[in-house]
Structure 1
Amino acid sequence: MGGKKEPMERVLQTLRECRGAVAVRVLAEEEKKALFELERRVEDNIVFGMCKSRNDGVREALQREFTVAIVIQSSIFQYPHHPHMSLRYDDQVLGESITDREKREELRNNASNFFLWDDFVVYMKKLPRGREAREKMRMIFHPREPLQLRGVPCVANSVFGTPSTEGDALIKRVMNLQGEDAQLGTCLLGFNLHR
């Protein structure tokens, strides 16, 4: 880390001071690789009875220069509790989160749309036909900006990701917190440091 020790300490202190942060740790390269491989295997599972997934938030966090794992008290740590997702086939959007209430109601009035949740619509007419095409569909978990690192001057290209259940268990094991309170969750913050 060399000349990056002081900026890294500033980042870690900022994260430790976040309400709901239980444990904070920079992941070693081997840990990042193990977590990436685990998440990649999890992505082969079918989610929501529809298709495989791709967790771009976790992927991007693990590809940054530094990745910090945080064990959090889920009910009080400030983070997006509902993932930002889209259902895709190649570059085509087949489903997405709709935050605009009027747009949601308009889409709800169209019988060819199906709402998985209150704000996630699937455009049924766009769904590909045929087994091969359906196997290419992916539920994409998009990266988010970590609010906790906004305004930290030494941080660049920060990204927030929420791991799978299996990734969560691995992070807790690495941080010696397995078997702890069910209210504890995990997240990853990836970032680069200015030189």
Structure 2
Amino acid sequence: MGRLVLINSVLDSQLVYIMSSLQLLPGFVKKVDSKRRSFLWSGKDSCSGAKCLVGWVRGRVCLATLTGDLSGDHWMTLHALLPLYRSITTCLIKDGRSTTFWFDAWHGEDDLSTKFPSLFSHAKKTEVSVREVLETGLAAHLVPRLTPQAVEERDALQLVLDDVMLSEAPDMRYCPIVGVGGNLHIGSLYRVMRNGEGVLSVEAVFV
């Protein structure tokens, strides 16, 4: 919001001032628009289209669950890839906003739905971020009455949560098929998505 205010109050007003006495060339206007987009989405002098897209998506959906105000075939395909993405990545919790509490592997190699199956079966809402659970408390996300096994798992999980400290830095995600610089090895992912008989899945065709 602060960047948007600066753009509206400073950069746009400067353009109005200049145009009151000069006729601007189309190329100049495009250059200014490029600077404004870069500042809005990244706070820097330049920004790739991908970063602009990510910034736009962040404002419309929850990155932890990919739920929100977006639609279309490409988006639905990306959403269908989410379970695979979770299965090949692990997370380091920072702000807890982009990591799902139950389905991402953020405490060890297995996700919490696998580690605590009885407790997971008592969850009110499965698609919830780590930050949401930590801010409101584990009990708020469980049904009132738990089975004895679920109570044991709840107590064990609470010990884990007591050691988690949130920060304002974004969560970090690691993947064994990501190379230096964060580049995804698409060939490796493509092979993972093939079944044993060599028939491609719909998602594999998209990749």
Q: TM-score, normalised by structure 2?
A: 0.26
Higher Cα Rg: structure 1 or 2?
2
Greater percentage in strand: 1
Give the alignment's TM-score, normalised by structure 1: 0.27
Structure with more helix by fraction: 2
